Structure 1
Amino acid sequence: MTTPRPDARSIYEELRAEIGRGTLAAGSPLREVAVAERFGVSRTPVREALRRLEHDRLVVPGARGLQVRAVDPQEVVQVYDVRILLEAEAARVAARARTETDLVQLEGLLARDRALTDPPDQLRAETNAEFHEAVWQAAHNRVLSDLLQRLTVHLVRTPHSTLSAPGRWDEALAEHEELLRAIADGDGEAAARAAAEHMRRAREIRLSLLRSAASGRTGSPTG
């Protein structure tokens, strides 16, 4: 059986995921010919996929074609500000729209995460993302979920997860439990408050990490 060739959407989604994971780091070139050869397709679907990535501001023109865009600290803070609002809305809607299957999924993810013993930073980020995505899915609002997914790509590209901060992993799990309880109880306002506070705390830690990184660059020797 012949495997169907990737279309523009699947190429876009794969490249976006690789940018999000850091497999394609800032400055990595994405040239049409090379990408087309990699996926075994013509340049037409590649051109469309790259155009979508450029629209998402994940790639920018470089000296020799498009390249992965570097993280902008100011934009990261702005993304958090918007995500706080959208995460709260997703949680509020999820409390009303969630099904029993959604609750089982969320409970299973939380139990899995609690069973992890001092997981590495990358695993913390991945499991945290899965829990949040399950909340979005429980809202059963594709537009809201898509917006949050697009925003999250910009955050996961930042160096170091906020979950790497001392004590933050256990703190985040407790916040997830509070959020899940509100969703299970059908309390939309409590769910929205829990989600917003969870993201505000993450924003505070991210700001601290950004300041530390800036101080390191400022204090480093030059010449």
Structure 2
Amino acid sequence: MEKNVLQREARSPYLRIRDAIIEGTFPPGSALGEQSLAEWCGVSRTPVREALRGLEQDGLVERTARGLIVTNRTPEQILDTYDVRIVLEESVARFAAERHTQIDRIRLESLIRASSDPKPGDQLARRNHRFHRTMWAASHNDALIDVLSRLHMHLTRFPATTLSYERRWEQTQVEHRELVEAVVARDAESAAQLARAHFERARDIRLKLWQQDIP
């Protein structure tokens, strides 16, 4: 009982600090002191300590000689993250082609039809993530979904959405449509190849955006 109460108390500070890191309120390299964070969250130091432990496990926080800091962002991290994501998204595409249900197909095709409606950049990013989460769901593999959700959290710490890049949304619509067509046709190999190409392009654009973000 006591352990469950502690876990509930720790969740709110975890989410608040995590979101502040992702949104840049606590930029890379920022020191994270338990006392100051406890005051900021309006809680005791114990749930903050638990939250920081979770963030360290997530890779958003690292321990240094001067204490805990927000993990720095590097181009190597982009490459490492995409190396993993590309492999996982290939697996998602294969599983989705093999396992998708009629409901999955309807949801994916509905998102493709809706994608032609123009939206501001931040809404495009949410729409894009919704498409990929729907594709993940069509894979019917909870382990893949869990790992990909964690990877997505790391990618949101990097510069603006890749959809802000010139004509990227138009190209993304084409790539999404081709991917859905392969999945619906249950062509697992083509779906995997299309997923790989899609995320390799996203990786290259993410690196260009990172370069532009350097002061």
- Is 1:199 the counterpart of 2:192 in the alignment? no
- Is 1:183 the counterpart of 2:183 in the alignment? yes
Measure, in 1, the Cα distance between the counterparts of 2:66 and 2:44. 20
Report the equivalent of 1:90.
92
SS of the equivalent of 2:73 reads coil
Report the equivalent of 2:52.
50
Measure, in 1, the Cα distance between the counterparts of 2:126 and 2:25. 14
Report the equivalent of 2:131.
131
Q: Does structure 1 conserve the Cα–Cα contact (< 8 Å) formed by 2:108 and 2:131?
A: yes
What whole-Å deviation, never above 9, does each CA across 1:149-201 have from its counterpart, x for those lacking one?
A: 22222222111222122111100111011111112222211211111110011
- Is 1:116 the counterpart of 2:112 in the alignment? no
- Is 1:164 the counterpart of 2:148 in the alignment? no
SS of the equivalent of 2:59 reads coil
1:52 aligned partner, one-letter code: G
Q: CA deviation at 1:125?
A: 2.2
Report the equivalent of 1:70.
72
**Structure 2 CA distance for partners of 1:90 and 1:22, relative to 1, 3 Å:** farther
Task: Give structure 1 stretches of 5+ with no counterpart.
Answer: 218-223
Q: Indicate which of 14, 30, 33 corresponds to 1:31.
A: 33
Q: CA deviation at 1:51?
A: 0.9
User: Structure 1 residues 15-24 or 169-178, which shifts more?
Assistant: 15-24
Report the equivalent of 2:81.
79
Sequence identity, in percent?
Answer: 45
1:136 aligned partner, one-letter code: W
Measure, in 2, the Cα distance between the counterparts of 1:57 and 1:191. 30
What whole-Å deviation, never above 9, does each CA across 1:86-133 have from its counterpart, x for those lacking one?
A: 11101111112222222232233333332124x22x322222122111
- In the comparison of the two structures, how many residue pairs are matched? 210
1:47 aligned partner, one-letter code: R
Report the equivalent of 1:220.
none
**Structure 2 CA distance for partners of 1:146 and 1:182, relative to 1, 3 Å:** same
Measure, in 2, the Cα distance between the counterparts of 1:96 and 1:202. 25
SS of the equivalent of 1:181 reads helix
Report the equivalent of 2:173.
173
Q: Does structure 2 conserve the Cα–Cα contact (< 8 Å) formed by 1:29 and 1:68?
A: yes
**Structure 2 CA distance for partners of 1:182 and 1:79, relative to 1, 3 Å:** same
What whole-Å deviation, never above 9, does each CA across 1:186-221 have from its counterpart, x for those lacking one?
A: 22112111111100111222233344456xx5xxxx
**Structure 2 CA distance for partners of 1:79 and 1:42, relative to 1, 3 Å:** same
RMSD: 2.7
Task: Give structure 2 stretches of 5+ with no counterpart.
Answer: none
